[in-house]
């Protein structure tokens, strides 16, 4: 929001006492399911990382007149008693026409009643020296992962990044962090399919926590070095796999039986047995199998398995989608990982 929606109160109205110290959690608005479950906002008094407002409309950019310094005391005095729009919970205070210095505040007021109501409590969440203002029109500020990525890239030193993104919307993130999600799969195809799909889902999903997708990719040709051979059988030609210096056949073409080593998953082994009546020497490349010898330690893992056809599986710190996962499978999988975060992350 670029327009100020804190308005001057009629002079006859009296500002209430500051009751910041005993303030109840802020009222919640909107239709988010977690809100309807009665979760309480950690603001004010919020001390953890990753505070992101759940609606950009909850953020008001408020010009502060010359003569009012951007200190908690002065801003409290200035804002108390002023009318705030019903949805406003956070105020980004700035000087007129100047974003070089901004401060972030939480305000309380009656959010259930009239369109506007007087501010009854003000809490400074970040001083100007803790805030950075970033303009990046590639960022959708309603997408948590987008917001955090931008904050870490463009304002790595700031405790709070106030970001003006796409559509000129302004939002912020306080102490940005992202859940590391290792994406384990085999390449080619290139780009790595699961990583690419998950990246596209994150880019358009407003209700997933900030995530940092990190490819943990295994190259088919490297797998081949585990069992050196002159002839390899790969699952399908479409993926474009090659093994330098070796003959390569593709199981989906049902080639004439030869002496080869199968680079494939359990499902490929089953198909081989169906076609040829026997098991070949095999390097199992199922990415899900890596969870046994290399369980998630730093963050969580998204992977896939040849034996899953239409369902998503999950366990402690991991989730696995079908080999030919749809975008919807991947959305479900990322939500399952998010649900394992402790404490669970939610926008406030
Ligand atoms: Zn598998």
pLDDT recorded at residue 98:
80
Residue with tokens 């910041």: 20
Question: How many whole angstroms from 270 Cα to the centroid of ligand 1?
Answer: 12
pLDDT for 16 beyond 50: no
Question: How many whole angstroms from 316 Cα to the centroid of ligand 1?
Answer: 18
pTM of the model: 0.82
When pLDDT is averaged across residues 314-335 and rounded to a whole number, the result is: 96
12 touches 81 (CB < 8 A): no
Greater model confidence, 36 or 208:
208
Question: How many whole angstroms from 242 Cα to the centroid of ligand 1?
Answer: 21
Mean pLDDT of the chain: 86
Q: At 120, is the secondary structure helix, strand, or coil?
A: coil
Question: How many whole angstroms from 278 Cα to the centroid of ligand 1?
Answer: 19
Residues 6 or more apart whose Cβ sits within 8 Å of residue 89: 26, 29, 43, 53, 58, 59, 106, 107, 111, 348
40 touches 96 (CB < 8 A): no
336 touches 328 (CB < 8 A): no
Question: How many whole angstroms from 238 Cα to the centroid of ligand 1?
Answer: 19
pLDDT recorded at residue 138:
96
Least confident window among 108-112, 172-176, 179-183, 275-279: 108-112
Bridge partner list, 83? 7, 118
Question: How many whole angstroms from 304 Cα to the centroid of ligand 1?
Answer: 7
Residue with tokens 């005993």: 22
pLDDT recorded at residue 240:
77
Question: How many whole angstroms from 274 Cα to the centroid of ligand 1?
Answer: 18
Question: How many whole angstroms from 249 Cα to the centroid of ligand 1?
Answer: 21
Phi-psi category of residue 240: left, alpha or beta, with phi > 0 → left and psi -120 to 50 → alpha: left
Beta strand residue intervals within 96-234, DSSP E: 98-108, 116-118, 121-126, 131-135, 160-164, 170-174, 179-187, 211-219, 231-234
Question: How many whole angstroms from 321 Cα to the centroid of ligand 1?
Answer: 10
What is the rounded CA–CA span in Å between residue 70 and residue 124? 10
Question: How many whole angstroms from 325 Cα to the centroid of ligand 1?
Answer: 13
**Which has the closest alpha carbon to 61: 111, 115, 107?**
107
Question: How many whole angstroms from 288 Cα to the centroid of ligand 1?
Answer: 6
What is the tens place of the pLDDT at every residue in 86-139?
989 999 999 877 888 999 999 999 988 899 999 999 999 999 999 999 999 999
- CA-based R_g, the chain, Å: 27
What is the tens place of the pLDDT at every residue in 159-169?
999 999 999 99
pLDDT recorded at residue 342:
83
Pairing mode, if any, of strands 247-250 and 170-174? unpaired
């Amino acid at each position: 929001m670029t327009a100020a929606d804190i308005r001057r109160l009629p002079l006859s109205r009296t500002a209430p006492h500051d009751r910041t110290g005993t303030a109840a959690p802020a009222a919640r608005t909107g239709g988010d399911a977690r809100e309807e479950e009665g979760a309480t906002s950690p603001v004010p008094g919020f001390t953890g990382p990753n505070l992101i407002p759940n609606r950009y409309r909850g953020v008001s950019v408020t010009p502060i007149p010359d003569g009012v310094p951007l200190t908690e005391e002065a801003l409290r005095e200035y804002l108390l008693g002023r009318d705030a729009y019903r949805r406003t919970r956070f105020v980004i205070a700035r000087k007129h026409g100047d974003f070089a210095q901004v401060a972030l505040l939480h305000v309380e007021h009656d959010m259930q009643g009239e369109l506007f109501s007087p501010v009854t409590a003000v809490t400074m969440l970040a001083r100007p020296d803790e805030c950075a203002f970033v303009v990046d029109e590639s960022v959708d500020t309603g997408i948590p992962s987008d917001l955090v990525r931008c904050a870490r890239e463009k304002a790595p030193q700031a405790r709070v990044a106030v970001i003006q993104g796409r559509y000129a919307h302004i939002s912020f993130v306080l102490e940005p962090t992202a859940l590391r999600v290792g994406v384990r799969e085999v390449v080619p195809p290139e780009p790595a399919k699961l990583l690419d799909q998950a990246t596209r889902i994150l880019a358009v999903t407003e209700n997933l926590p900030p995530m940092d997708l990190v490819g943990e990719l295994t190259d088919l040709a490297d797998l081949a070095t585990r069992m050196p051979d002159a002839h390899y059988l790969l699952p399908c030609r479409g993926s474009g796999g090659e093994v330098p210096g070796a003959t390569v056949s593709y199981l989906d073409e049902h080639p004439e039986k030869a002496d080869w080593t199968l680079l494939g998953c359990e499902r490929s082994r089953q198909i081989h047995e169906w076609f040829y009546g026997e098991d070949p020497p095999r390097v199992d490349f199922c990415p899900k199998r890596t969870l046994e010898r290399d369980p998630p330690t730093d963050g969580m893992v998204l992977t896939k398995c040849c034996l899953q056809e239409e369902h998503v599986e999950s366990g402690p710190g991991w989730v696995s989608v079908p080999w030919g996962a749809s975008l919807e499978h991947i959305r479900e999988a990322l939500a399952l990982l998010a649900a394992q975060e402790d404490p669970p992350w939610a926008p406030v």
